[in-house]
Structure 1
Amino acid sequence: MNQSSIPAVWMRGGSSKGLFLLAGDLPKYERERDKVICRLFGSPDLYRTQMNGIGGATSSTSLVAIISESEDPEFDVEYVSGSVSIDTDVIDYSGFSANLSAAVGVFAVEQGLVIPDKDGGYCVKILQSNINRQLNVYLPIKDRQPLVSGNFPISGVSGTGAPIKVELLEPGLGKLGRVLSTGQTSQLLDVPGFGEVAVSLLSAGGNTVFVRAADVGLQGTEFARDIESKRETLNLLELIRCIAAVEMNISPTIEFARSHQPSSPKVVLVAKPQAFVSAQGQTITAQEQNICCRMLSGGLVHHAYTGTAAIATSVAAQIPGTIVEQLAVREEESESCIKIAHPGGIFAVDSSVNEKGGFWVAEKATFTRTARTLMIGEAFYMD
């Protein structure tokens, strides 16, 4: 045969979709494993369509989840998350998809990796291997299977589903769980050809660069097409991202960040709460949001908002002096549930943030998603 196949499950988790694979079905060595995954997705593709694979050609649909049973008795399963580049043969493992985490819980039960002992609420304990943190995914169970149908809507996804609570423990990725990547609430980056740009660099859930939308000539209410039509703005934001990656010590050079880590850090454009019409035609008022944001991943504007960026935004909103905190509107300083407005609507994240020993840390972050299996079968790739 000139094609090979591998057992695969295509799933939606939150506002993302990904290919779920069991680690035992993949080649043992990382280089060979990643070659197979790229071929499954149809990458690299200079047409940026992934037409010769199953990838969806966007940052939220070109994701892989590699699942295995955990050898650690503290966890049920282990979850490796990869962002598959569209036009190169690179898979970025420097961050993870928090949206897909909800689907990891569903997958674990449906595949028999976890067997609930009763109906009702059930917690699947997941080791998120990319960042070495614990995820708790709380599933509604009926007849010992995940209940995925329900009336809970999430922005960025048509239809409704059963609510699935996702809880990330100790989301701070810095030393001793610190959430400020450089220890500063905000700082200036020197961007060649542009000048100085104020940013806040957060390592909470995922590595994230926050920039005032106004500082790069935007309002913060634009849709993807509005921003992506401005090639100079996209190039500027990518350069800011790469400079920030070096500043955050997650990339050795700007070029390495550009070529090998296209999905981390994320870039978030921040603005004060303001009314706009969502992608579904609904009016989002300023009163129902704490902050208005647009987010880029893999060089493209996300149609909604990633879970990791939402965690970082929620944390940043509670730390005095960050760009997010300066622009956010909260009724009380103790308000921990931050409602983030994005092109698809509102993403609410509740995070517990405290200052300890002069450093900011986060104990946990919680949000609610929906998830379901879309396809089970064999995925083919060219030998």
Structure 2
Amino acid sequence: MALYRIAATLMRGGTSKGVFFRADVLPADTGLRDRLLARLIGSPDPYEKQMDGLGTGISSTSKVVLVSKSSQVDCDVDYLFGHVSIRDGSIDWSGNCGNLSAAVGPFALLEGLLAGPADGLATVRIWQANTGKRIVATLPMRDGLPAQQGEFRLDGLAFPAAPIKLDFLDPAGGAAGALFPTGRPMDRLSIPGIGELQATLIDAGNPLIILRAEELGLTALETPALNSETALLQRLETIRAHATVRMGLAEDPAQASRERPSNPKLCWIAPPAAFLASDGREVECERLDLLARIVSMGKLHHGFTGTGTIALAAAAALPGTLVADLLGGPLGTRPLRFGHPGGVNEIETVLDGERVSVSRLVRSARVLMRGEAWVALEE
């Protein structure tokens, strides 16, 4: 049994939490690295609690981030994201986490991977290594440190924080090679044992499968209580796995479920309606363009993923998609506002013709703990 003591930082980014590392403190052997990271998070765990690790038994906190000086001449740092499967301990390195992207800049500045101003705004140019895309983060500095406090409020978080602007540059096609991997903004899926479903299959930020709630027998007003409905979750995974094959990201549905449990994600949409957010606030219909729910690692997300937000907004901005059809036409460059279990997400999409040139989110991030993570592994 070998004991590893690894410099680590626990951070919140957006509505996710993850453990951040400098890439050079981890083993060069990727197999050993992945076993170590999974064990540190608390997986594999048949109880799905991650009680013996830094995870908390939900997909939004079962995450690891590796940061290093950039290999790209026009970026400051490289950022690699891993989504740890709670039950089996495998790590999906196939996509990005939009929420944790907000914490990369603060971590890089704290680690001295680049210099920032003592006060004012710092700009961090990030190479997102999973998707081969660039992100520009702009964040406030105070007394030589990334600002930890502010007045920006993000639905799904109890406390305000300093705002971090994220520009996801040219976000399309990082996984599948094109914004619409099938070449069409709308497809008809034929799923064995389920039937036919209309879908938009899109790759912006991360790949996303967009369905109509009514075709699933759902409303897009679901809460995480849905996670007790095992048969429904399995049905959604069957759809997700078959759509992953249609997008060219897996050879068969079994491979999709085994090797790409995190991406693509699956979401469903419905017309706007008033609802109670998870903190008890009433969200008025007039604030919304639509309702949306998303599944992450087999469970309904407590809010909505950052990269899912990017993909949904890209679909809303362009003609011929399921989202534009629901909206009565594409939004173009108007911000998309949609309801999720925690409240409302808003995102701006910048177009160059029908190319998504920038997806712009505002999030926040905070250092929760810096120190050593202790992990014992059998040799």
Bin for the TM-score computed over the shorter chain: over 0.9
Q: Aligned residue for 2:346?
A: 348
Alignment of 1:252-271 (within 5 A): 252-271=251-270
User: CA shift at 1:29, angstroms?
Assistant: 1.8
Alignment of 1:28-67 (within 5 A): 28-67=28-67
User: CA shift at 1:174, angstroms?
Assistant: 6.0
Q: Aligned residue for 1:213?
A: 213
Q: Aligned residue for 1:284?
A: 283
Matched residue SS, 1:86: coil
CA RMSD of aligned residues (A): 1.7
Matched residue SS, 1:185: coil
Q: Aligned residue for 2:363?
A: 369
User: CA shift at 1:232, angstroms?
Assistant: 2.2
Structure 2 distance, partners of 1:176, 1:376, is 36
Structure 2 distance, partners of 1:79, 1:114, is 14
Q: Aligned residue for 2:334?
A: 336
Q: Deviations over 1:169-214 (max 9, x none)?
A: 0000169973112111111111111111111101001100001111
Q: Is the 8 A contact 1:179 1:203 kept in 2?
A: yes
Q: Is the 8 A contact 2:333 2:351 kept in 1?
A: no
Structure 1 distance, partners of 2:185, 2:221, is 24
TM norm structure 2: 0.96
Amino acid in structure 2 at the alignment position of 1:37: L
Q: Is the 8 A contact 2:213 2:270 kept in 1?
A: yes
User: CA shift at 1:353, angstroms?
Assistant: 3.0
Matched residue SS, 1:308: helix
Matched residue SS, 1:35: helix
User: CA shift at 1:71, angstroms?
Assistant: 3.3
Alignment of 1:80-229 (within 5 A): 80-117=80-117, 119-173=119-173, 178-225=178-225, 227-229=226-228
TM norm structure 1: 0.95
User: CA shift at 1:143, angstroms?
Assistant: 2.2
Amino acid in structure 1 at the alignment position of 2:347: V
Question: How has the CA–CA distance of structure 1 residues 186 and 334 changed in structure 2, closer, same or farther, with 3 Å as cutoff?
Answer: closer
Gap runs ≥5 in structure 1: none
Q: Aligned residue for 1:22?
A: 22
Amino acid in structure 2 at the alignment position of 1:85: S
Q: Is the 8 A contact 1:134 1:169 kept in 2?
A: yes
Matched residue SS, 2:61: coil
Q: Say yes or no: does 1:380 pair with 2:371.
A: no
Q: Deviations over 1:237-292 (max 9, x none)?
A: 10111011111111122111111211100111111111110001111111101121
Q: Aligned residue for 2:307?
A: 308
User: CA shift at 1:86, angstroms?
Assistant: 0.5
Amino acid in structure 2 at the alignment position of 1:339: R
Structure 2 distance, partners of 1:353, 1:275, is 30
Q: Say yes or no: does 1:247 pair with 2:246.
A: yes
Q: Is the 8 A contact 1:290 1:329 kept in 2?
A: no
Structure 1 distance, partners of 2:357, 2:158, is 32
Amino acid in structure 2 at the alignment position of 1:374: L
User: CA shift at 1:41, angstroms?
Assistant: 1.0
Matched residue SS, 1:373: strand
Question: How has the CA–CA distance of structure 1 residues 44 and 364 changed in structure 2, closer, same or farther, with 3 Å as cutoff?
Answer: same
Structure 2 distance, partners of 1:333, 1:60, is 29
Q: Deviations over 1:282-312 (max 9, x none)?
A: 1111110112100101000110111100000
User: CA shift at 1:354, angstroms?
Assistant: 4.4
Identity over the aligned pairs, expressed in percent? 37
Q: Aligned residue for 1:320?
A: 319
Structure 1 distance, partners of 2:133, 2:42, is 30
Matched residue SS, 2:104: helix
Amino acid in structure 2 at the alignment position of 1:376: R
Structure 1 distance, partners of 2:375, 2:301, is 27
Matched residue SS, 1:317: helix
Question: How has the CA–CA distance of structure 1 residues 101 and 233 changed in structure 2, closer, same or farther, with 3 Å as cutoff?
Answer: same
Matched residue SS, 2:75: coil
Structure 1 distance, partners of 2:270, 2:234, is 20
Structure 2 distance, partners of 1:161, 1:195, is 46
Structure 2 distance, partners of 1:216, 1:71, is 44
Question: How has the CA–CA distance of structure 1 residues 221 and 280 changed in structure 2, closer, same or farther, with 3 Å as cutoff?
Answer: same
Amino acid in structure 1 at the alignment position of 2:373: A
Structure 1 distance, partners of 2:157, 2:94, is 26
Structure 2 distance, partners of 1:157, 1:263, is 23
Amino acid in structure 1 at the alignment position of 2:345: F
Gap runs ≥5 in structure 2: none
Q: Is the 8 A contact 2:117 2:141 kept in 1?
A: no
User: How many correspondences in the alignment?
Assistant: 377
Question: How has the CA–CA distance of structure 1 residues 329 and 6 changed in structure 2, closer, same or farther, with 3 Å as cutoff?
Answer: farther
| 68-77 vs 100-109, greater mean Cα deviation | 68-77
Amino acid in structure 1 at the alignment position of 2:292: C
